[in-house]
Amino acid sequence: MPLRERRKVTGVEKIGPYTLVRIDQGNLDPGIPGQFFMVEAPGRVLPRPFSLCLAEAGELAFLIDAIGPGTLAIAEVSVGDQLHVFGPIGNGYRLDVERPVLVGGGIGVAPFPFTRSVLGAGTPVVLGFRNAHFAEAAALLPGAEVVIDPVLVTEAIPDDHDILACGPEPMLHAILRDHPTAQLAWEAPMACGYGACFGCVVEIDGTLKRLCLEGPVIGGAPPVFPAVPA
Ligand SMILES: Cc1cc2nc3c(=O)[nH]c(=O)nc-3n(C[C@H](O)[C@H](O)[C@H](O)COP(=O)(O)OP(=O)(O)OC[C@H]3O[C@@H](n4cnc5c(N)ncnc54)[C@H](O)[C@@H]3O)c2cc1C
Ligand code: FES
């Protein structure tokens, strides 16, 4: 059940180039792995979407890749600050699969510590990063197989597994080519997260749909993103 709450920051930790921001859980439900939360930093007008990275000991945590003003404002919070959080929302991964493998690229590692805590510590994980600094995030998933560019994470996926993946668009398309039943978490810019703004509209199976409602996790045909004006 999604809730909107203002929660206190309980920890801020650098992990390679990323920042792990912990908040006091309050009444928030962690939801299903792959669902997301809209998180708004103090003084900002628009929230940003984030996967839940960890849910443990009365805390929720988000792993932030600070790429612009919204993510930067969240990565720069201090313990004791308050974040406005809304979720869990969207469609998560189906977990009733026989042989799951978690496949993450870059910041796509974010949902998998929580996912593995639900599926079981023995769930195999393969992660790909652009260099060793980014690969420090693999510490969140002990025992994961880690590859670094130019080796591609798709080369490390074990055979005969049910793929749950999150990562950059080219990685998701490459997985889909060889594994049409993979469950993939897609991204689009999202301003509201609950179907009101139409900012996240993509084409799925020939129909325009809002990714915040139909996704972010989709199995089968990939969404078609609107062309970005040059
Ligand atoms: C369901 C979902 C879960 C996500 N989980 C995480 C997470 O766990 N950790 C994390 O660090 N990030 C996550 N993201 C991405 C994150 O929400 C965006 O990076 C953030 O919204 C960018 O905001 P900004 O203000 O920092 O940058 P902006 O200035 O808004 O954007 C910087 C650049 O990134 C592009 N961009 C912005 N948002 C997106 C997007 N969603 N998809 C593709 N391009 C985009 C912009 O066009 C621009 O070029 C997730 C996104 C979605 C949709
Ligand atoms: S984010 Fe507003 S409609 Fe999807």
pLDDT at 229: 52
Residues 114 and 209 in one domain: yes
pLDDT at 44: 78
Measuring from atom 17 of ligand 1, which residue has the nearest CA? Answer: 49
Residues 175 and 211 in one domain: yes
Residues in contact with ligand 2 (CB, 6 Å cut-off): 190-193, 195-200, 210, 212
pLDDT at 2: 92
Mean pLDDT of the chain: 94
Report yes or no on 54 lying in a domain: yes
pLDDT at 113: 98
Instruction: Between 206 and 135, name the one with better pLDDT.
Output: 135
Of the listed ligands, the closest to the CA of 198 is 2
Report yes or no on 70 lying in a domain: yes
- Sheet-wide strand order for 125-129: 145-148, 125-129, 100-105, 162-166, 183-185, 217-219
CATH code for the domain of 16: 2.40.30.10
Question: Could you give the number of structural domains in the chain?
Answer: 2
pLDDT at 203: 86
Residues 69 and 173 in one domain: no
User: DSSP of 183-196, one letter per residue?
Assistant: EEE-----SSSSSS
**Which of the four pLDDT bands, split at 50, 70 and 90, describes residue 123?**
very high
Residues 161 and 213 in one domain: yes
Domain carrying residue 115: 100-219
Ramachandran quadrant class, 141 (left: phi over 0; alpha: psi -120 to 50; beta: rest): beta
pLDDT at 227: 63
Whole-number Å distance between alpha carbons of 60 and 29: 9
Name beta bridge partners: 89: 36
Q: How far is the CA of 129 from the centre of ligand 2 (A)?
A: 29
Residues 47 and 18 in one domain: yes
Pocket mutation for ligand 1, best pick of 48, 134, 169 (most atoms within 8 Å of C-beta): 48
**Which of the four pLDDT bands, split at 50, 70 and 90, describes residue 226?**
confident
Mean pLDDT of 76-89: 96
Residues 108 and 85 in one domain: no
- Greatest distance between any 2 Cα atoms in the chain: 48
Residue 228 has pLDDT above 60, yes or no: no
Report yes or no on 227 lying in a domain: no
Task: Using the 3D structure, point to which of 30, 59, 89 is the last residue of a domain.
Answer: 89
Residues of the chain above pLDDT 90, percent:
87
Residues 118 and 213 in one domain: yes
Residues 106 and 212 in one domain: yes
Residues of the chain above pLDDT 70, percent:
97
Per-residue pLDDT tens over the stretch 163-183: 999 999 999 999 999 999 999
Q: How far is the CA of 67 from the centre of ligand 1 (A)?
A: 8
Residue 56 has pLDDT above 80, yes or no: yes
Per-residue pLDDT tens over the stretch 186-223: 999 999 999 999 999 988 878 888 999 999 999 866 77
Residues 119 and 214 in one domain: yes
Of the listed ligands, the closest to the CA of 228 is 1
Residue 86 has pLDDT above 80, yes or no: yes
User: DSSP of 126-154, one letter per residue?
Assistant: EEEESSHHHHGGGGGSTT-EEEETTS-GG
